[in-house]
Structure 1
């Protein structure tokens, strides 16, 4: 028991170093024993604790993707989203730690996630990484793993994004996420698809919205429920990703608290890969309000949601916010 506690403390300390002293409390990475790398179900004995049970017990906040009709718009939207597993090595001590985030397949067989999930600064660097697709149930049945190059082709610590190549051509099977550089107005209903605590894929849409008051710059403040492991998940407005979730911060006792994401419009200005992926959708990268593009055979496009569409059934978010 003492040895297990020491090992857990070592993993958590390593993750704190990986995410940086200033952001370790907010960055939403979940740790695991590096010996468990490659498993679909990450054992709970190490770092998940009560939070894993919270995910299971609170299905109102975290809706399992496995329960969706596979032919539905939301199931199609979720298909290119996977769990990113990373092993990081301390350059000084040689010790290794495991970390789990969320990532999305991008056209051209790339994966988009947070920079703090694939850090390129500090003592800890990723030595191996992979994305687990179709992880919908605890037993991992039907899931498939694809190796990621742990050295991103593009990254930015300030905007907190990283884009890395993935082997095995997973986009031929799972498609690629749709992107948008459209501005996100305050109070817009949103949707997050993620792997909180490294658990099977879920979505957050209950009371999930962008705050009315937003700061100048690339950050998007939102009130969508997330946990450790949610880092690197796209935030969707209708049928396209518009921001990359990166930090927690919600406090159930503070109605003014919020989580943070980076607007995709800001990342598009720094990423050739994403700009090309957006252009391939039939949308000019600089367009302020991109229109719909034809779907591809590999990645069927979900139709844009109406006001009472799948992101906001019957205007429920507006009702819950007292509007």
Structure 2
């Protein structure tokens, strides 16, 4: 009998016009004698007969019908119920084959369902990949069929694989939640990011003499990008125990290099370290340009093979309850001549009506690219999936999905019948749709797994994924807890909505922005939105510049942030500061310092003259009084925020040190005299070590201080109160100098923001997440520090005199 290598589980979508087959690697392999080797197939050619034989065996396997010999078999075949099942299985297979071969209407539609609205004249004939037929009583629920790939050099010696379909992970028509991660207008945000990442929209009012219908032309440079991207796409051929427990001698799928040593594909292609160890991968199994131009039909060589090393790296997520992805180590030599596809966290990766292109090995064939009929028909920004009509077949599983700028946006996963009636932008209802898992969802899932299990392998994969997610911000899933028993798609959606579990805050000196804000407002807006924080404390930004920034964020992305300039009423040209906050996630209000505390910020260097310790030079310690701002989240989290900027005095070490001590004394007085017992967060250009030492000298029983500083001298201090709702504080990696109770802080992984941010100036933002999860931090009882307070009190007396 002829042998076929099957992709264990992928649903093909050949032409969306009846040429589909969906399945996985085998619920059991058996031999059906005579069918594939029939000497007189009548009107059927050998390929078609083989396809029909495979379909019959698949239908029989679904009904648990075994073909065996012996007396027991005869007795088992006699009941009418068994015969009915056998007849139904045979009819199912025959009708499916007739539809695939273009000899009958597409089966499986409900009686009240309209005929497929695809305008293509006839189903595309595709040997070995016929349309899937429906079981009686199951019409229209999903296609059934045999998963298979065309015979390739690695396929010889296997059995025909019988299979059920790989299920979709999510519902293509599931409504967007709205308000996810504080973005109330997801549609506007999505359109803003697509304009940001693509060239300006093609003119929508297309003149008839230029284009018929939509203009679907692409930039010519896209051809160059695609030619380069294809080198990172390969065919994986393997054998062993498939993801559903059956054994197969051979199957194939598609994969892509996403780092010099890391390969990405589906779980149902490489489901275990043993299957990965048995695999061979080739990146040059393709028809050459010379062969294509000459019209030669000589099959290409199978390509140079590379082995996988799952003992060094193997990270996988199952289909049931997971996201159907696998990352595995491959020899670095595989990257020779290929640039790995970059993985990016981008929730707003693509929108309906755009194109999704796929480079793949359908049916184990030489490398192909799907460029036509590639409409995205569903893509929710706050969901993990996209759905599209791009042509695929068994063997396409694990292929990269690219947008019109050549960016990797998703991992191709499966196909199924278009039960929801999704339409293309032209109003066509395709018979089948494909499903892909967004890279942003995979990254979020990995981050969530990493929080629950120490895994160097997961760390390695995450180290190759860059950028922010926008919806979950710079810190992603860090500190967020969701129900691990929920399916993978539901977990990702829940992580997007878990904004009540944390508050993200950033401190950023925008001196680089102040003089050129008219030119830089758009770039600054994109970065602030992408980092996805709830609160921004900005320094060195005149009111006019801040207003331009807030307006750019609204105009480009539909996000309306609240803004308060500090101090209120400052001249437009004066470099002051501002606090921005997202009213969808937090409430904010400015508070006034009590007079006795305000007096601390009016102290001057000469007020410390005559002390036993060195005093700052004469002049104001603070150019202006620091602001006091109160932030409250949707959950238990609340804190007092003190952003400030010492301005030119920040370079004076003695002045910075004294400012730190005065700040600590101000917080102490607010807690002890004015009942401000919430957590405190201070940020700006001050001496973090000095502030922390001053807090530690204060007799505030039950309060836990911790401070951090970056290389440029920007710092923050966090004072945790005994009844705090904060479990952990996550820091951006530039805050690497830690002081005080360091186990309060967790330094987050770098996400390749540095290069982008450094383009604007020397000051990177200080980012932190106050998380309600992760358990309470140890409390510290701090000793008395009379010398500290005595010196401040003496300075106050001199100031009043």
TM range (shorter): 0.5 to 0.7
Query: How far did 1:180 drift?
Result: 2.7
Q: Distance in 2 between matches of 1:234 and 1:206?
A: 16
Q: Distance in 2 between matches of 1:89 and 1:142?
A: 24
Tell me the TM-score normalised to structure 2 length: 0.28
1:129 corresponds to 2:279: yes
**Counterpart in 2 of 1:264?**
439
1:98 corresponds to 2:253: no
Contact 1:11 1:97 in 2 (8 A): no
SS at match of 1:106: strand
1:205-220 superposed matches below 5 A = 205-212=371-378, 214=380, 217-220=383-386
Contact 2:344 2:440 in 1 (8 A): yes
Q: Distance in 2 between matches of 1:11 and 1:165?
A: 21
Query: How far did 1:114 drift?
Result: 0.1
**Counterpart in 2 of 1:278?**
465
Q: Which has the higher contact order (CA 8 A, sep 6+)?
A: 1
Query: How far did 1:118 drift?
Result: 1.0
Q: Distance in 2 between matches of 1:90 and 1:169?
A: 28
Deviations 1:211-234 (A, max 9, x none): 146496312111111000000001
**Counterpart in 2 of 1:16?**
26
* Structure 1 pair 106–212 and aligned structure 2 pair: CA distance change class (3 A): closer
**Counterpart in 2 of 1:111?**
263
Query: How far did 1:239 drift?
Result: 1.9
Query: How far did 1:45 drift?
Result: 10
Query: How far did 1:106 drift?
Result: 1.8
* Structure 1 pair 177–44 and aligned structure 2 pair: CA distance change class (3 A): farther
Corresponding residue to 1:72 among 224, 245, 259:
224
1:189-268 superposed matches below 5 A = 189-212=355-378, 214=380, 217-237=383-403, 238-250=405-417, 255=430, 257-268=432-443
Q: Distance in 1 between matches of 2:365 and 2:150?
A: 12
**Counterpart in 1 of 2:304?**
144
Q: Distance in 2 between matches of 1:260 and 1:198?
A: 20
Query: Please, what is the CA RMSD of the aligned residues?
Result: 4.4
Contact 1:11 1:32 in 2 (8 A): no
Query: How far did 1:145 drift?
Result: 1.2
Instruction: Structure 2: give runs of 5+ residues left out of the alignment.
Output: 9-22, 29-61, 63-141, 162-220, 288-297, 422-427, 447-457, 475-526, 532-751, 757-801
Q: Distance in 1 between matches of 2:6 and 2:351?
A: 42
Deviations 1:102-157 (A, max 9, x none): 00012141110000111149xx9555012111111363348321111356621111
Query: How far did 1:174 drift?
Result: 1.7
Tell me the TM-score normalised to structure 1 length: 0.64
SS at match of 2:395: coil
* Count of residues paired in the alignment: 254
Instruction: Structure 1: give runs of 5+ residues left out of the alignment.
Output: 49-68, 295-323
Q: Distance in 1 between matches of 2:409 and 2:7?
A: 32
Query: How far did 1:95 drift?
Result: 5.3
Q: Distance in 2 between matches of 1:82 and 1:113?
A: 10
Contact 2:256 2:399 in 1 (8 A): yes
Q: Distance in 2 between matches of 1:191 and 1:11?
A: 20
* Structure 1 pair 274–28 and aligned structure 2 pair: CA distance change class (3 A): farther
Deviations 1:262-307 (A, max 9, x none): 111111121544432233xxx457484999x99xxxxxxxxxxxxx
| Higher CA-based Rg | 2
